[in-house]
Structure 1
Amino acid sequence: MAKLAHIWRHPIKSHGHEAVERASLKPGQGLPMDRVWAVIHASSAVDAAAPVWASCRNFVIGADVAGLGAISAATGVDGRITLRHPSLAAIALDLDDAADQARLLDWSQPLIPAARPKATNVVRLQTHGVFDTDFASISLNNLASLAALSAKAGQMMDMRRFRGNLWIEGLEPWAEHGWPGRQLRIGAASFEVVEPIARCAATTVNPETALADVETPYLLRKHWGHRDFGVYLRVIAAGDIALNDELVLL
């Protein structure tokens, strides 16, 4: 039986990962508190005063700033987000407050290489989260596929590299690659499987060390002929999901 083994959310795009045990999902939305905010940089085309969806290169992301990969996040009952990094002091933020947005920029600036554009603003979209897709997506990943990739890498790869939302156990490796166009159910929620996820340099970074130590896209191309790992889902029927819920293909 395939079941839900892990749920992760990322309140600030590329700035921290957080494990949760359950979530309530709605059509037209991603995982609650996932990629609600994002940091734009000096070369971004996004208007901080009226932000709209834009491609990921308009934001400060792990593919460009490896140090971001080691940030963890914890959201309190008051909505404040505490960020931790092995080389920085922990910081607690209310990102609806302009002063705390400025504190985030100052806190993260030491992680950004001098050659990269400086972080300038924190933005929140009014439609859906700041996802890599132009629709409200939830990413699903397969622990058996991770094990197969880890075997080629010569080390067990931490799932947090992939910044995925849902991780499933009990499947065959790469079973998920045959699902685009199909529907599935996890817990009380139903989903459409939209497309595979092409992986970038962000997945080369070890979240414990913030160092790039596995050539993930290269290994995917070499051994499987593509850069895909995981699939994007769209919620089509509302419902709650929780750890150990069964995944059923419809």
Structure 2
Amino acid sequence: SMARITHLYRYPIKGLSAEPLDAVTLSAGEGVPMDRVYALARPETVFDDAHPQPLPKTRFLMLAKDEELARVVSRYDVASGLLTLEHPAGRLIADLGSAQDRAAVEDYFATLLADTLEGDRPRLVTGSDGHRFTDVAVVSTEMMRAVSIINMASVRDLQERLGTHVHHLRFRANIYVDDVDAWSELDWVGREIHLGKVRAEVLVPTARCAATTVNPRTGERDIRIPKELQAHYGHINCGVYVAIRSDGMIRTGDSVTLGDM
């Protein structure tokens, strides 16, 4: 056993909070179910839900630019279609199957980000045919549906070098692993790994952006993560993207082993 899975998360709406999972069923060529299937398009963004095209992350509300999003606790219930949003400024429960409720979600964020949106409303969008609003969606369909992995040992190593706590959710990954050497995940690129009984191919390291500068608990920009990574390690990578190559369920506690390609 090379490592073990310690945390699983999905992020139903791009830029909003993580939802922890105990287990998740993965399918070959697909991302984590309900991960980044919604986004809040900036007022000037043109997006056709029926014919979705990948757009740069800058066309949507995102932590890299809109740090106040970190203070919103969001929960999406797939069975009921209900989205719950909580922020010190107010609470909203909305049925995403209702046009009226989706408009209420848009109004909620227009108010919350009034200073940056200048009173204009963002638009809650979702794409057909398995479209996902991942940061790397513009690279390729495979990257759009890639699953992100972070090594908790790497986060701890960075934390020790900085002398301050670094919350693992800054990195907004789907799968967190532990019990493996810090930064060894960067050597997995081009290799096959087994997540429990699910096969995956490690595609590329994950280059970090300004979203990681935002404290996921306070919404403050308090650590310049990309700059610190460059200063301490000579690169801005933390974590890897993998493509799922077989179907199956993974759970927290499952082993992660290196396979052959």
User: Normalised by the shorter chain, which TM-score bucket?
Assistant: over 0.9
Which residue of 126, 129, 153 corresponds with 2:128? 126
Whether 1:185 aligns to 2:197 is no
Name the CA distance, whole Å, in 2 between partners of 1:119 and 1:16: 20
In the TM superposition, what whole-angstrom CA distance separates every residue of 1:155-196 from its partner, at most 9, and x where no partner exists? 111111111110001010001111111111112211111111
Q: 1:41 to 1:49 in 2, by over 3 A?
A: farther
Name the CA distance, whole Å, in 2 between partners of 1:173 and 1:185: 19
Superposition pairs for residues 1-250 of structure 1, below 5 Å?
1=1, 2-47=3-48, 50-76=51-77, 77-85=79-87, 87-112=88-113, 114-116=115-117, 118-128=120-130, 129-134=132-137, 135-250=144-259
User: Which stretch shifts more, 102-111 or 176-185?
Assistant: 102-111
Q: TM-score, normalised by structure 2?
A: 0.89
Query: 1:58, CA displacement in angstroms?
Result: 1.3
Q: 1:4 to 1:41 in 2, by over 3 A?
A: same
Give the unaligned 5+ runs of structure 2. 138-143
Q: 1:96 to 1:133 in 2, by over 3 A?
A: farther
User: Partner of 1:145: helix, strand, or coil?
Assistant: helix
User: Which stretch shifts more, 174-183 or 127-136?
Assistant: 127-136
Report if aligned partners of 2:42, 2:122 keep a CA contact under 8 Å in 1. Answer: yes
Name the CA distance, whole Å, in 2 between partners of 1:67 and 1:186: 34
Query: 1:103, CA displacement in angstroms?
Result: 1.3
Computed over aligned residues only, the root mean square deviation of the Cα atoms, in angstroms, reads 1.7
Give the unaligned 5+ runs of structure 1. none
Report if aligned partners of 2:190, 2:202 keep a CA contact under 8 Å in 1. Answer: yes
User: Which stretch shifts more, 122-131 or 174-183?
Assistant: 122-131
Query: 1:244, CA displacement in angstroms?
Result: 0.1
Name the CA distance, whole Å, in 2 between partners of 1:40 and 1:7: 26
User: Partner of 2:176: helix, strand, or coil?
Assistant: strand
Report if aligned partners of 1:73, 1:83 keep a CA contact under 8 Å in 2. Answer: yes
Report if aligned partners of 1:41, 1:58 keep a CA contact under 8 Å in 2. Answer: yes
Q: What percentage of aligned pairs have identical amino acids? A: 31
Report if aligned partners of 2:81, 2:97 keep a CA contact under 8 Å in 1. Answer: no
Name the CA distance, whole Å, in 2 between partners of 1:67 and 1:141: 24
Query: 1:48, CA displacement in angstroms?
Result: 5.2
Name the CA distance, whole Å, in 1 between partners of 2:221 and 2:173: 18
Query: 1:102, CA displacement in angstroms?
Result: 1.2
Query: Number of paired residues?
Result: 249
